[in-house]
Structure 1
Amino acid sequence: MLEIITSAAIPMRHGFFTRKGGASSGIFSGLNCGFGSSDQAEIVAINRARVAEAMGVGGAHLLSVHQVHSPDVVTVTGPMEDRPRADAMVTRLPGVALSVLTADCQPVLFADPEAGVIGAAHAGWRGAMEGVLEATIDAMTALGAHRERISAVIGPTISQAAYEVSEEFLQNFLSEDQGNARFFTNGQNGRYQFDLPAYGLHRLRAAGIGHAEWVQRCTYSDPERFFSYRRTTHAAEADYGRLIACIRL
């Protein structure tokens, strides 16, 4: 059976899907929804069909983008023939599900229920720093959403305890804002631990939206439920699965 994490902050149909309930096997065991992986394409298609069914849409209406760690947002106004290069989508179109794929980065779902406007963003450290979260909010307001009514929920992502980074990584954030030091703690051997979800929440709240939260699930530390790029790297595995997060009106 599929396992879907939801939040009371978003009253429309949505979910952060775990790896449970999928058809993939081996290192992709479970619900791998990434065509960019080396998993069998027909198996990934089966997994995505299960997600579409759970979201109550046809397979062609489970929309996604070709993610490139950018601040770029696509406004969906009708059928999408392909996957544009971007890292977020917004819409007020009923009957379609917006989705993003992650394997440690932040999947973020947005909603203004009163305006009937939703969004989904893929926000790793680079995309978050370059403004993908704020760009998603701006695109939603262009469709009629009100900033103070928007709720945003960060799904399963890598936690600070599992996210070791270099001095160069730290300095990159400090050069943007010295206040970013609060998202780092000292690690071992001159390394640091970065709090990605806390940084995401900071960016969301600074953007002036009504509510922002994290579901408090770490992708790295729970291999039974979540895929993790970093865990795969540490284990010297050949590839990794992708988790999917979706929202629809």
Structure 2
Amino acid sequence: MAAASPVRLLVVNGCSMTFGDELPNRLETCWGALLARRLGADFVNLGACAGSNHRMMRLTVERLGGYTAERGLRPDEVLFLGMWSRINRFEVFAGEPDRQGGLPDIPDPGWCRLHPTYIDRHDRRSTVWYKELQHDSGDRVEFLLQWVLLDSWLARNGYRYGFLWAFDPDPTIFEELRPYSEQIDLSRVIGSDRFPYGGPSVFSVGKALGDLGPYRHPLVRSQEVFVEEYVDGWVRDLLRREPSAPSPARRRGA
């Protein structure tokens, strides 16, 4: 098999743990930026504070092709890393600016994030969602459905990609919803040898080091350890794989 193309662009997406909240000079010290320098790649950070998995799937599909084309790259020269967050977050299209804090670096007009803490800020959309509409079982199904769809889209378009965790995952989700989880290429997840537990999450690394900010975000040392001890080696193993190999489920005709 021919040698894989070098990674020329790293695109990451997720919540505040990807955005780099509470970090000094976060554009240089978040885990994605640290990894991009190690790879010698350009870097785009699509993360946002309180970002949901729904937002990660939507924005990745909307923007990744454009970033690839405008740089004159092939999909196999791009590495996408998605960091899954809390499954009870959501977003709605309101057609007006999102007035909450921790806005993403990339403009995303019209979409408003929903988060439990926004109830205390008297955000009416979040108040209605969490008091009237949000449902734990629905969150679990939707999370895995989002994963199946994003995994399939990335593979079919020839991107190299993988997934990480902002917080430690709930292992019961993968056993309870096997019709969904069996369609996911779990070998592309950090800590896949420990599934259904996976990890470590960037939060768990920061917590173990006692290196969390006042709002419980991993600080600089945590970002460095996360990349040095866990992410860098995992990514390099991931890149040795055939760039667009179908997942085990798709090879079985699922």
Q: With structure 2 as the length reference, what TM-score do the two structures score?
A: 0.38
Higher helix share: 2
Higher strand share: 1
More contact order relative to length (CA 8 Å, sep ≥ 6) = 1
Q: With structure 1 as the length reference, what TM-score do the two structures score?
A: 0.38
